[in-house]
Structure 1
Amino acid sequence: MARLSVAAACLLCAFTSSARAQTVLKTERCLSGSVIQDRLLEKEYVAGDFHLFYSLQGNDRLHHTGDSNGNGTPDSIENMAIQLQAAQRFYSGALGLRSPLRQKVFANAGQINIYVLRKDRGKGAAFDKVSRERMADGTTLPCALKLIVDTSVNPLRNVTPAHELFHLYQYGYGVFKQRWYLEGMARWLEMPYRDSSKGMAAAAPSLNCPDYANASYDAAIFWHRYAQRYFAPVDVPAGLRQLTYTDGSPVFKQSALPGGAMLAPFFDSLFRASQQISQQQQVANTQWTEKMQRSPQFSQDICDALSAITPQRGAAAR
């Protein structure tokens, strides 16, 4: 009887823990958005999960309007879609990450909308809320995740679309928005799209994770060197290496991401940490304020999630 009671208690404990996890892991409601409420993007280009909205007139007029194949769609828009779909296949296929549209938190999003707008600052932005956007003419779009890409971006020389898409993957796995994690890791993930001569050749001054808590894009060297030291590389599949832009140039400039095998287990670990901290804070994942998400106090939790999946030094990938 005692054994049965212990077993029952353990089962109840496991059930309670699972129930608590469910209460803090909620789905984002589809909110009314305001990103394009004063804009009119009269053109739409659809490529799989991606819907690209752009304009050929007015303040948000596309900068690069050349149409080399004469199909009626500017090359820059086609190339943006090519880059996004290639990145999605690399992130979800080769790296084994769950697509944002397959995450419970984003279950109400049916697509990913890319708004090509004139930005006063920066080249792109990614949002962690599901929204139904409405344009100035009253056109209402379906519930979606969204990215903004500046009208000046030329995907042949700029990987902003792939960079911003990776942020959606990060948002899908956890509540954290520390810049050294968000921007540093996303910058590292740009490597396969860049010429090898533009890779991260410099040695990281430290592989101690907490040392980078105040960094931003420059934390990319930490993620690169740490992953390369302790984890195996992930090849860019042959099918992806053959992908080209409209001018015939390859989308992927390198054949592998050194240390890429770190990503899937790290994000699984971060997903668990995000739930545990939400339980401790008694705040559901959808209720975290922007200030909480960016708080430096959670940098150590990100480092702990990384440490939890790092092999022993003697077994590290070389």
Structure 2
Amino acid sequence: MHKLTIALGAALLFTTAHIAQAQEEIVSCAALGSAELNKLEKVYSLGDIRVFYTQQAPASGTDHRLPPLSQVDGNGNGVPDYVENVAKQADVSRKLYNALGFRDPLGSSKYRAVKTIDINLLNISANALAYDGAVYYPSAPGRGPNCTLRVDVSSNLELSGTFTTQWFVVGHEMFHLFQYGQTLFKRGWVNEPTAKWAEYASRPGPFYPLGSPSYTLPSTLPDFQATVVAASTSQNANRFWSRLIDLVESEDGSLRIPAHLLSEQYTDGIAVIKDQTLRGAALISAIYQTLDAEDDIVSHLNGWNSYNWAESDQTSSSHDPRILAAVQRAIRRTGTSNPELNAFLDIE
């Protein structure tokens, strides 16, 4: 048995009145409009994942059609392979995160109204974006009244690489939805590197490479703030989380992945999951469960809706000391001790 335990202790001890209040809070689904989503007239569904795209030139404004190399329909089913492969990566990565013990976003109380995850293929500057709101678009074609979670993915990814071998961004964005369903804290220094970690569930390798020269955890607050908090998408921020995993978890990285997931392939026959190595699932899961309990405390102290904070409150750096303490607490519960790790755990 892995020595990591997920005892949440006093953070879970709330009054009956507070629990009753949380149960009565309404999780709303916002009706929105979007001129760009209105341009996406096609939909491909895979379970409760829907991918919207267009094959029509717009009357005006941004053209969201796939580039010619991504319009190929090799299996002749009337759907571009790129569209099917985006849906496949979303579906398989989601099922793999579930198999690793993470709570599905559609199983979260925060998203109890949500019925589908909608991925929009758009001509955007970012590779992809995941949104944390429960929404629906009544005027957009093919959407219907279902409450959804929204993910936007660039229609142009394959202009810089073959999707089935070089792109893992859809799995990255799917993990953001898991994060949003788990905790209301939305700080980049936690969410971005751990979503990068999640990519390694399906890409080669056990986690983001530590590289050379060797990486050492920050041992002072200024160093931690400069190299991790203020640089959430940097190499060092990613290496910080890999180093935590390396010091805390002793497994060799081999996973027992369900056979039906290992056999999943893209339209070109390439496996969705590139190997069976990943380290850190138990630790990352424990940290997010600790954050889940911690945000309940913050909701109670401030009188905030337990499922719906203002965006400015979710992303506020004022939570960093509390989040850092929660991360440290989850690590201490593993019982792991060594000088490098202990120096990080002493940061206040």
Asked whether the two chains share a fold, i.e. TM above 0.5, the reply is yes
**Partner of residue 108, structure 2:** 103
Matched, 1:89 2:105: no
Q: How does 1:243-282 map to 2 (within 5 A)?
A: 243-282=264-303
**Partner of residue 227, structure 1:** 245
**Partner of residue 127, structure 1:** 131
Matched, 1:201 2:210: yes
Please identify, of 32-41 and 305-314, the stretch whose mean Cα deviation from structure 2 is larger.
Answer: 32-41
Residue deviations 1:122-147, cap 9 Å, x none?
11111111111134569644211111
> Are the equivalent residues in 1 in contact too, given 2:93–2:201 (CA < 8 A)?
no
> Are the equivalent residues in 2 in contact too, given 1:192–1:257 (CA < 8 A)?
yes
Cα distance, 1:81–1:295 mapped onto 2, change above 3 Å: same
> Are the equivalent residues in 2 in contact too, given 1:40–1:135 (CA < 8 A)?
no
| Matching residue's letter, 2:271 | P
> Are the equivalent residues in 1 in contact too, given 2:197–2:207 (CA < 8 A)?
no
Q: How does 1:153-192 map to 2 (within 5 A)?
A: 153-154=157-158, 155-156=163-164, 157-192=166-201
Please identify, of 178-187 and 219-228, the stretch whose mean Cα deviation from structure 2 is larger.
Answer: 219-228
> Are the equivalent residues in 2 in contact too, given 1:45–1:53 (CA < 8 A)?
yes
Q: Which runs of 5+ in 1 are unaligned?
A: 1-13
**Partner of residue 51, structure 1:** 50
**Partner of residue 15, structure 2:** 17
What CA RMSD, in Å, does the superposition of the two structures yield over aligned residues? 2.7
SS in 1 for 2:240: helix
**Partner of residue 68, structure 1:** 74
Aligned residues: 302
Cα distance, 1:70–1:208 mapped onto 2, change above 3 Å: farther
Taking the aligned partners of 2:91 and 2:220, their CA distance within structure 1 comes to 32
TM-score, normalised with respect to structure 1: 0.86
Cα distance, 1:209–1:68 mapped onto 2, change above 3 Å: farther
Cα distance, 1:270–1:199 mapped onto 2, change above 3 Å: closer
Taking the aligned partners of 2:14 and 2:287, their CA distance within structure 1 comes to 25
Cα distance, 1:137–1:173 mapped onto 2, change above 3 Å: closer
| Matching residue's letter, 1:116 | L
**Partner of residue 290, structure 1:** 311
**Partner of residue 118, structure 2:** 113
2:150 to 142, 146, 149: 146
Taking the aligned partners of 1:193 and 1:303, their CA distance within structure 2 comes to 28
Deviation at 1:27, TM superposition (A): 4.5
**Partner of residue 257, structure 2:** 237
Q: Which runs of 5+ in 2 are unaligned?
A: 1-11, 58-62, 339-348
> Are the equivalent residues in 1 in contact too, given 2:208–2:238 (CA < 8 A)?
no
TM-score, normalised with respect to structure 2: 0.79
> Are the equivalent residues in 2 in contact too, given 1:188–1:221 (CA < 8 A)?
no
Cα distance, 1:18–1:150 mapped onto 2, change above 3 Å: farther
Deviation at 1:161, TM superposition (A): 1.1
2:335 to 295, 308, 312: 312
Taking the aligned partners of 1:178 and 1:292, their CA distance within structure 2 comes to 10
Deviation at 1:209, TM superposition (A): 9.3
Residue deviations 1:141-178, cap 9 Å, x none?
42111111111134312112111111110011111111
SS in 1 for 2:102: coil
Cα distance, 1:81–1:167 mapped onto 2, change above 3 Å: same
> Are the equivalent residues in 1 in contact too, given 2:287–2:327 (CA < 8 A)?
yes
**Partner of residue 39, structure 1:** 38
| Matching residue's letter, 1:258 | R
SS in 2 for 1:73: coil
